[in-house]
Structure 1
């Protein structure tokens, strides 16, 4: 008798992290099915989604619109909807399944913590922040943990900025190669009433390029998913971030070193705001100080494959050159 493959359901498998997870879990011997705008089930077809999660070994949700955009009204609504509504739909499918999955991992974000340049933020002592991005993260986790799912262990992956070939690292590499790989410097900028009401205005903290920068290698995101799968004691929010966070000035210097550029012009706040408007993104993504540490993972025994920034960047750049070659 042929033994049936255990099934994993991945929502948001077309994104950068989702693609890596899908391949890793296929390599682990799982049957991987997907939920998204296309795939084995599409959002809105809750009956089909329930059929997929019923009897699954693991559900992983990485769905959500990219935050690399301008936070206008329409994009704000879609950023929130694409996280909360998809999480609620999965929760309903799992709640009504005859054989609900024993484990559900849901993406979250390390941005949920406040701007921190005084001390690191972990799961036990970290302080949640304020503003639009934090309100989205709060609503996302509320949707995830709010449902009554007594037979399903839930873990929220509060991910820092993920590095890898094709990730958010790519535009930083391009800046360095163009000679613009200096620190991003905070400073005064005029607020508008609309941005103040929406919570999208970044207040100047005079960080001088020392705003903390928490990051994680995509290999460790995959490693954490496997680790959580195998350690039933891990539940609730988990920070997925290198145990050696850096700061903006050091990150940019390390990137310049990795691509062979000795110098990089700094970018002042006014330049960032004009540039962010031109390329349709937000300055908060580089100016907020994110100082996050993975206390729960370390205490549970997870060993990071890429804890060191310099080594992680060297490996990613070598991989990029191999692919391009």
Structure 2
């Protein structure tokens, strides 16, 4: 069976391609096909544009992971536009192409993020929670999801994954967090009370794979580990795994000066629970943060 993946060279995408390529015929869209081919290997078919595909009917599934990195740059007006267009345009195009097929793909899985919930304080958040957020991250994700869910029909089931902070051995958020800890200068942001909803790379890839293959799954799923923690506890866990001191605190006002509006996302979080994916039968490989961090930070013994 054929699977089309956008964003296949990113952190989640490349790991998902590696997981699927022995059982599926994987096609990846990339603006730099030659580089993508070198990264992903010869088994993967790489195309430069969706325009290179005449009909999506040939594909069993479409997995949409494309999007500019949310925390790569300060949220200027221009960067916000990039964040929106890099997600909304491809999702709209995929939905329209799916709707136009006589025999459309059986499943369309599209990315989203827990930023859609906005700041939630200490109250746990599930897929059933009401959302009253009114910030940029919420509106970015809400439109992204609306465009994807429009493809849902009797012939195509749509799943949307609201991903948390992905922990990986290389790349991603964890790599950016490490330098102060390695210098013995790690510590929480302010009081560190806000929720930090994380997930190990193996598990977020596992969730996408699970949704791909479970025909009863459709709708919204939180892509987070079942045990979110306060940010201070996450920070302390990094220091403990690395056997480093943990006494510094990052003033929220400093983050505001450096990151601007994006600082809201870094200093106000949520305790997001993956109720629907667990109810569907997915079993987490890394349900607890310390074991996830050990897998990322310590070499195999």
Pick one of 61, 84, 97 that aligns with 1:80. 84
Question: What is the deviation of 1:286?
Answer: 1.9
Q: CA deviation at 1:148?
A: 6.0
Asked whether 1:174 is paired with 2:179, we answer yes
Hey, what's the Cα distance between the residues in 2 that align with 1:95 and 1:38? 28
**Partner of 2:85: helix, strand, or coil?**
helix
Q: Cα RMSD between the aligned structures?
A: 1.9
Q: How many pairs does the alignment contain? A: 287
Query: Which one has a bigger Cα radius of gyration?
Result: 1
Instruction: Tell whether 2:257 aligns with 1:257.
Output: no
Where do 4+ consecutive residues of structure 1 move more than 4 Å?
Answer: none
1:244-271 deviation line (CA, Å, top 9, x unaligned): 0001100010011111212331111222
Matching residue of 2:9: 14
TM-score scaled by length of structure 1: 0.83
**Match of 1:139?**
143
User: Aligned runs of 1:269-284 on 2, under 5 Å?
Assistant: 269-276=252-259, 282-284=262-264
Q: 2:151–2:158: 8 Å Cα contact kept in structure 1?
A: no
Query: For residues 50 and 113 of structure 1, what CA distance do their matches in structure 2 show?
Result: 37
Quick one: distance in 1 between partners of 2:244 and 2:152? 53
Whether 2:59 is the aligned partner of 1:64: answer: no
Output aligned runs, 1:172-321, within 5 Å.
172-185=177-190, 208-276=191-259, 282-319=262-299
Gap regions ≥5 residues in structure 2: 34-45
Alignment check: 8 A CA contact 1:180 1:267 kept? no
Q: How far apart are 1:99 and its partner, in Å?
A: 2.8
TM-score (norm 2): 0.90
1:124 alignment partner in structure 2: 128
Q: Distance in 1 between matches of 2:29 and 2:147?
A: 18
1:164–1:148 CA distance, 2 compared to 1 (3 A): closer
Alignment of 1:22-41 (within 5 A): 22-27=17-22, 29-39=23-33, 40-41=46-47
